[in-house]
Amino acid sequence: MRDADIRFDLPEINTWRLCLKRVTQQDVVGMVEDWEAHGYRFGCVCIDDGWTSGGLLGDWRPDPARFPDLRGLVDWIHARGYAARLWVAPCQAHPGTEIHRRAAPQDFLGDAAGNPCFFTGLGTYRLDPRRPLGAAHIRDTMQRLVREYGFDAFKVDFPPFMEPDDAFYAATGFHLDEEARRTMVPRFYQLVSESVRAVNPKARVCCASALRGCQPWIQDTICGDFVGCDRTEEMLAAKARDVLAYVEGHDVLPWLEMVWGGGGDSPVANPHWHTGFIEYIACSINYGLKIEHSFQPFGYPNARQIRALTNLYGPRQRHYKVLAAGTKVYATDMLLRAGVRVDAATRFLVALDAPAKVTLHTGFLGTDAYQWQCREILDGRPARLRGRNEYWGGRLYPCRVEFDAEGGAVYELWHEGPPNPFFRDLYRSQIERPAEKPGAKAG
C-alpha cells in the first residue's frame, strides 16, 4: 500500500523548465512563493539539476554561491508544509570531481578493451555499481543527502543506462554480459532505494523513465522528456497508457513529465501553447496521473482554468475527469474505449477556449439524464442543462445532457443521488447484452 503521505499525491512543482541549470536557492524560494501567491495547491517541491558545486556531477555537494544553505532551504520548504525532492544522478562522474580522481579505470563502465566509456551528453563517465567503489559511493552519497539535508524524496536520473537495446546504449560502447545488461539498472535502483530507506524508511525514489524491472525499488516514476516532440493528444494518451501499464500491480505513483504547452519547446505567446497546456493537464487527469508543473502559467489567457483543474483534481480525487478542455472534447464512449474509468460517480470538468455546445452521453454511464447537474465553478452559478432519455435503434448516443459552455469558464457536471436502477438495468439489458439470433432456442 502506498505511503499515506498526501504531499506526494498533490501536484508537484519543479525548477527545471523555469531555471534549467542556472537555479539558485533564491530561485527556489521565489518559485514556491509565486505558486502560492497565485492560489495553487501543491505538495512537493523538486530542486532539479543545477544545484551542485561548479555544476559538476559526482561529489554531490551544493554550490556554495548558489545554494549557501541547502539544509536551511529544505527546512523552509518543510515549514510551509511541503515535501522536498532533489535531483541526483549518483553513478555519473565529471572529470575534476573527487570521485573521478579516486576511481581507477576499471571502476567505470567500459568498452571491450577496458577503457572507460565517455558520455558526451553530460560530459561524464559512469561508475560501475557492481564495483566496491561505485556501490559505496552511491550508498554513501544517498544516505548523506538524507542525513545532512533532510530531503524526503529523490529524482534519480541517468542510471548506468536506460535500456540495453536502445540507440543510446549502442552508442556508448559499453561491453557488458547478458546478466549485467538485464540486471544492472534494477540493482542500481535497489541500491539507491535501500540506502535512503535505511536512513528514512519513508523516503521516496523516482526513476526518470519506465525502466524494466525497477518497479519493486521505486515509489514514483515519470514518463520521459518530451522536448522536441509534437505532444499530440494521441502521443500523450499512448504515453499515459504505457506508464500505467508499467506500474500496474506495483505501488508506484506515475506521472507525465512536467506540463507542456503546444507549438514549441518553450512558452510562446500564441494560442497553441496555452491550449496545449490545459489539454496536457486534461490528459493527466483522465488517466489518473499526478500533475507536475514547471512552466509558470500565471499570465496565460486561460490561467484561471489551469489553476481550477490543477486544484480540483488534487490529492486522491481521481473521480474527476475532463469532458472538454482547450479545443478538445472527450466523448464518454471514447473515454471508455481508451480504458478511462467513468461512471455515475464521475465528476466531469469542462474548460474550453471558446463557446461551444458540450454533450455528456449519459447512457454509457447507465444513468438518467435528468439526474445530472451542472455549475460554473469560478463564480458558482448553475448552468442550464438540456437532456433526453432515448435510445433509438438500440444506440446510447441519443441519451444525453448538453449545455452551452462559455469560453474561459470552468464547469463541473455531476450525477445527483444514487443511479436509477431502471436506467442502469435497461441499458445493461438492451444495449450491453449481445442480441440473440432469430430463432435461437433457450437452453
**pLDDT (mean) for 126-146:** 98
Tell me what pLDDT residue 443 has: 29
Tell me what pLDDT residue 263 has: 82
Tell me what pLDDT residue 436 has: 41
Tell me what pLDDT residue 45 has: 98
Strands 320-326 and 347-352: parallel
The CB-based long-range contact list for 57-65 (8 Å cut-off, 24+ gap) reads: 57/89, 57/92, 57/93, 57/94, 57/97, 57/122, 57/124, 58/92, 58/93, 58/94, 58/97, 58/98, 58/99, 58/100, 58/124, 59/97, 59/98, 59/99, 60/88, 60/90, 60/141, 60/144, 60/145
Strands 320-326 and 328-329: antiparallel
| Per-residue pLDDT band at 370 (split at 50, 70, 90) | very high
Among 148-152, 162-166, 232-236, name the most confident range.
148-152
| pLDDT beyond 50 at 437 | no
DSSP H or E stretch at residue 412: strand 411-415
Which range is least confidently modeled, 120-124, 258-262, 387-391?
387-391
C-alpha cell of residue 204: 521516496
**pLDDT (mean) for 115-137:** 96
Over pLDDT 90: what percentage of the chain? 80
Tell me what pLDDT residue 80 has: 98
Tell me what pLDDT residue 390 has: 85
**pLDDT (mean) for 338-343:** 92
CB 205 within 8 A of CB 151: no
* Residue-range domains of the chain with CATH: 6-317 (3.20.20.80), 351-432 (no CATH)
Q: Average per-residue pLDDT in the chain?
A: 92
CB 294 within 8 A of CB 261: no
| Per-residue pLDDT band at 346 (split at 50, 70, 90) | very high
**pLDDT (mean) for 310-338:** 89
| Per-residue pLDDT band at 438 (split at 50, 70, 90) | very low
Tell me what pLDDT residue 30 has: 98
**pLDDT (mean) for 183-202:** 98
**pLDDT tens digits, residue range 66-81?**
999 999 999 999 999 9
| Per-residue pLDDT band at 303 (split at 50, 70, 90) | very high
| pLDDT beyond 50 at 433 | no
Tell me what pLDDT residue 434 has: 41
Tell me what pLDDT residue 3 has: 61
Over pLDDT 70: what percentage of the chain? 95
Who wins on pLDDT, 349 or 390? 349
Tell me what pLDDT residue 441 has: 35
**pLDDT tens digits, residue range 20-67?**
999 999 999 999 999 999 999 999 999 999 999 999 999 999 999 999
User: Which residues does 351 contact at the CB level (< 8 Å), separation at least 6?
Assistant: 278, 282, 302, 305, 308, 309, 322, 324, 325, 326, 409, 410, 411
| Per-residue pLDDT band at 2 (split at 50, 70, 90) | low
Tell me what pLDDT residue 316 has: 62
**pLDDT (mean) for 305-326:** 89
